[in-house]
Structure 1
Amino acid sequence: MSEVKTRADVKPAKAKKSAIREWFDSVLFAVVAATLIRWLFMEAFTIPTPSMENSLMVGDFLFVSKLHYGTRTPRTPLQVPLTHQKIWGTNIPSYSTAIQLPSYRLPGFTSVKNGDVVVFNVPPKYLNENIDYPVDLKTNYIKRCIGIPGDVLEIKQRVVYVNGKEFPKPPRSEYKFFIKTTEVLDANFFRKYDIVNDYRDPNQPTENWKPQEQYNDSTKTTALVGYVLNTTEDVIAQFKNFDWVKGIEPLVDKPGETMPGIYGTPTFNWNHDNFGPITVPKKGATIQIDAKTVALYGPVIELYEGNEKVETTPTSIKINGQPITSYTFKQDYYFMMGDNRDNSLDSRFWGFVPEDHIVGKAVFVWMSLDPNPANIWNKIRWNRLFRTID
């Protein structure tokens, strides 16, 4: 008896994919997987500037967790995958603003805490090439969170106080010092103490040092050499033990001296070593409108709260043409500072970071490359690999 097959039983042989199709499918899968991981879980960043030294060094590569504070849903969905502002190696925008969605934050397992090292989209337009990027495409900055919503923050002679208590100094934070020596120091010397990006050589005199200055001892007169440098207090303690170091002084701004460009000036006589007191805005908190609150919170109300037609003067604010006498904040804000306190463009200069600008928490350094190594063998900083960020 012969077997009878229906049309359904006869299945055409599956066509074998071409090599090009196999390659395309593999690349597509990799791009989709990488995009999802980058958006939902973790993203890689590199450190381009010394504002967080010595905690984070120029050339550090780190992973930033999106899960800690909760992943943001995309505000700008029309974007080339795995890009930020521009297509790689060009000035061509990698996104379109034809569709802008409301942004939400998925649940995280913690919130931003005082002392966290945080990556965020820096708010001011002038720090974004003067381009009005969507929030999720603004330039990424990394700083330490000093003040959370509702905190009262003040800086006195470099010392940070939060709610009246001294804020613990980050263990490897740097400050600016002036040292006088009888020795000429070169880059190799400073490199031994991780001073790579932040020192000024004696060919650039400052007001603290005059070339004719001399050091006198019982046997001879020696010309002094002066250096301005940013380093940790531990390194300064070591320098004090060198007999050829003849003077060390911290370079600190005086209270009451107004520093141009500091947030809140000229209404307040603040500088980057003496700042505040200032209250970090908290969602639901209400302020009264006057000259002082306009100076501190006018930019927040105008730029980050989603208000339309905001008009500000030095003493008043109008929203949609109506003067307001008080204002209630719609979201939380944070105050960020770099660990390299005297070489950091941070909240002391441009103000608060809105909650919807928070990207994630920096968790660990997975690679570190010295941008100016003494030799090729020292290109990789082996002692920094897989270092957790505290």
Structure 2
Amino acid sequence: MWRTAKDLLIVLFATLLFAAGLKSCIIDAYKIPSASMQPALLPGDFLLVNKFIYGARTPHKFLYIPLPVVQFPALQSVQRGQVLVFEFPGEPEETIVIRNLFMVKRCVGLPGDTVSITGGTVTVNGARSGFFPAADREFGPVVVPAKGMVLPLDASSAALHRVFILREGSTVETKEGKVFIDGAETDSYTVKRDYYFVLGDNINNSADSRSWGFVPDEHIVGKAMLVYWSRDEHGIRWDRIGSIIH
């Protein structure tokens, strides 16, 4: 009897580990709470998300205990136009971001791209992006930060980039018009990570990179694949179940 109970516990523990590994590294499910991605995604849609396509990462904490993050090799890089699930990068003035809020938006700009909205049209590197209706406000141009990019710094630009630099794990301060990064005087800062610019398809009713900035590579959870369940106040939306997300 003791051996049977022990065997059952081992099987149960192994099953839980497998399920946790599947959820954290392979595939996961998320619910759409808002209309910011209409018409591609509707409130009440439930998504399956491919977490290994961009290189799955092990959880950064377990039961509130911080863990070292290990990333597996990617099958492909993030592409413009793909719908991403990611951890919210934080409000504009937040230097410490609590990573427990997930969002879904469409990737518009890759590291190094120049993004702008002019005359209602979203453009990337001067070319029109065809995913969005006419925008009701101008934006940019902005250059999406890329790993290794060098940002010139003076007292004014250091203040502008302060939160960005602090989030990357460095310190920044100005004294008598001089800029110090990690205690050393400098006139430039080298970006440590790749970033992405994202927008909601419902561009005039979406909080996105225009509001809170770029998404760091390490915050990307995966690529939205399909709608596995969908319902609203009227009931199940059968026509949406199984829809591939483009």
TM-score w.r.t. length of structure 2: 0.87
The one-letter amino acid paired with 2:243 is R
Residues 329-374 of structure 1 deviation map (CA, whole Å, 9 limit, x = unaligned): 111110011111111111101111111111111111111011x22x
Query: 1:147: how far off?
Result: 0.3
1:61 aligned counterpart, secondary structure: strand
Q: Is residue 86 of structure 2 the alignment partner of residue 120 of structure 1?
A: yes
Query: 1:157: how far off?
Result: 3.0
Aligned to 2:39: 54
Which of 91, 96, 117 aligns to 2:65? It is: 96
Which residues of 2 match residues 196-211 of structure 1 at below 5 A? none
Supply the distance in 1 between the matched residues of 2:242 and 2:178 (Cα, whole angstroms). Answer: 51
Radius of gyration: which is bigger?
Answer: 1
The one-letter amino acid paired with 2:131 is K
Residues 148-167 of structure 1 deviation map (CA, whole Å, 9 limit, x = unaligned): 00101111133101001111
Task: Go from structure 1 to structure 2 and tell me whether the alpha carbon gap of 1:116 and 1:35 turns closer, same or farther (over 3 Å shift).
Answer: same
Task: Go from structure 1 to structure 2 and tell me whether the alpha carbon gap of 1:279 and 1:388 turns closer, same or farther (over 3 Å shift).
Answer: same
Which of 309, 329, 336 aligns to 2:191? It is: 329
Supply the distance in 1 between the matched residues of 2:239 and 2:221 (Cα, whole angstroms). Answer: 27
Task: Go from structure 1 to structure 2 and tell me whether the alpha carbon gap of 1:367 and 1:141 turns closer, same or farther (over 3 Å shift).
Answer: same
Q: Give RMSD over aligned pairs.
A: 2.8
Conserved? CA contact 1:50–1:343, under 8 Å: yes
The one-letter amino acid paired with 1:382 is W
Supply the distance in 2 between the matched residues of 1:105 and 1:32 (Cα, whole angstroms). Answer: 18
Query: 1:306: how far off?
Result: 1.9
Task: Go from structure 1 to structure 2 and tell me whether the alpha carbon gap of 1:312 and 1:352 turns closer, same or farther (over 3 Å shift).
Answer: farther
2:204 aligned counterpart, secondary structure: coil
Task: Go from structure 1 to structure 2 and tell me whether the alpha carbon gap of 1:341 and 1:317 turns closer, same or farther (over 3 Å shift).
Answer: farther
Residues 187-237 of structure 1 deviation map (CA, whole Å, 9 limit, x = unaligned): xxxxxxxxxxxxxxxxxxxxxxxxxxxxxxxxxxxxxxxxxxxxxxxxxxx
Which of 89, 99, 110 aligns to 1:148? It is: 110
Query: 1:388: how far off?
Result: 0.5
Q: Is residue 121 of structure 2 the alignment partner of residue 159 of structure 1?
A: yes
1:43 aligned counterpart, secondary structure: strand
Aligned to 2:218: 356
Give aligned-pair identity as a percent.
Answer: 38
Residues 280-338 of structure 1 deviation map (CA, whole Å, 9 limit, x = unaligned): 011111121247754664322121x221x32369x875323334311111111100111
Supply the distance in 1 between the matched residues of 2:156 and 2:28 (Cα, whole angstroms). Answer: 39
Supply the distance in 1 between the matched residues of 2:155 and 2:172 (Cα, whole angstroms). Answer: 16
Unaligned runs of 5+ in 1: 1-13, 80-94, 177-251, 253-272, 374-378
The one-letter amino acid paired with 1:285 is M
Aligned to 1:280: 144
Supply the distance in 2 between the matched residues of 1:340 and 1:310 (Cα, whole angstroms). Answer: 37
Aligned to 1:381: 237
Aligned to 2:16: 31
Which of 229, 242, 245 aligns to 1:367? It is: 229
Query: 1:96: how far off?
Result: 2.8
Supply the distance in 2 between the matched residues of 1:120 and 1:296 (Cα, whole angstroms). Answer: 25
Higher strand share goes to which structure? Answer: 2
Unaligned runs of 5+ in 2: none
TM-score w.r.t. length of structure 1: 0.57
Query: 1:127: how far off?
Result: 10
Query: 1:113: how far off?
Result: 0.8
Supply the distance in 2 between the matched residues of 1:169 and 1:142 (Cα, whole angstroms). Answer: 15
Aligned to 2:166: 302
Supply the distance in 1 between the matched residues of 2:46 and 2:19 (Cα, whole angstroms). Answer: 17
Task: Go from structure 1 to structure 2 and tell me whether the alpha carbon gap of 1:328 and 1:346 turns closer, same or farther (over 3 Å shift).
Answer: same
Residues 20-57 of structure 1 deviation map (CA, whole Å, 9 limit, x = unaligned): x6765554343222101112211111111111111111
Conserved? CA contact 1:119–1:358, under 8 Å: yes
The one-letter amino acid paired with 1:75 is H
Supply the distance in 2 between the matched residues of 1:146 and 1:281 (Cα, whole angstroms). Answer: 13
The one-letter amino acid paired with 1:354 is P
